[in-house]
Structure 1
Amino acid sequence: MGDFVQVYTATGTREAAVALGRSATRARLAAGVQVVGPVAALFWHLGEFGEGEEWQVIFKTTADRYPALEAHLLERHPWNNPEVTTIPITTGSRPYLDWVRRTVAEEPADGPA
């Protein structure tokens, strides 16, 4: 896993998506979160094909903070077996990545993020 990751999950409502994003950001497990939706969802669940709408939640964080973010999401997610996946951020603007690192530091530096 690279130094930085985007972590993905989805929920059934915008309110649940925003609540997950807010709690993770306030806990400094994510520097920023985007809620996207609704999106069409097509899936297999309990042996049956399903269709519905979901709200995607995308968290920006560091690989070091991922385990704590995953635990946070699994504890607070309204679903029993939610998607929690990562995509490495292989490159990005240095000022942005520095901001992500500072923001999710367990003991953030003083001053504006």
Structure 2
Amino acid sequence: MGDFLQVSTATATQEQAVDLARSAVGKRLAAGAQIVGPVVSAFWHDGEFGTGEEWRLLLKTTRARYKELEVHLLEHHPWRNPEIAAVVIETGSPGCLAWITASTQPTEPA
């Protein structure tokens, strides 16, 4: 398969995650999104070790729409250099994969 991706990022607040989810799904760059949190993260940032709470955002999209989704997330993310990572959805139910395909089709200009 390889044509379907789950893209993840994180934000400091639930509201920021909801805003990113609404804008990405609203523009059909992702079929849907789940927001999980708060989650506790441990990380290195600017040479220092830290921990903190974040809200995890998981978006379903197609490989064809990934680059546009990445650009959108980078433009609208509240962080200067956010984590944006995609993993391949190796397999899925036919109905789910059809939904991702249909929901990420660019809309026709009015």
So what's the TM-score if we normalise by structure 1? 0.93
- SS across alignment from 2:98: helix
- Name the counterpart of 2:32: 32
- 1:37-86 deviation per Cα after TM superposition (whole angstroms, max 9, x unaligned): 00001101111111100000000000000000000000000001100000
Tell me the amino acid that sits aligned with residue 15 of structure 1: E
Task: State the shift of 1:22 in Å.
Answer: 0.4
CA RMSD of superposed structures (Å): 1.2
Moved over 4 A (4+): none
2:23 maps to 23
Q: CA deviation at 1:107?
A: 3.5
Tell me the secondary structure at the aligned position of residue 60 of structure 1.
strand
Letter of the 2:70 partner, please give it: E
Count the aligned residue pairs.
Answer: 108
| Aligned residue identity for 1:35 | I
Structure 2, unmatched stretches of 5+, are none
Counterpart in the other structure of 2:60:
60
Q: Equivalences for 1:23-102 in 2 at 5 Å?
A: 23-102=23-102
Q: 1:8-41, CA deviations, whole angstroms, 9 ceiling, x for partnerless residues?
A: 0000000000000000000000100000000001
Cα distance, 1:106 vs structure 2? 1.3
* Identity score, percent: 56
Gaps of 5+ in 1: 109-113
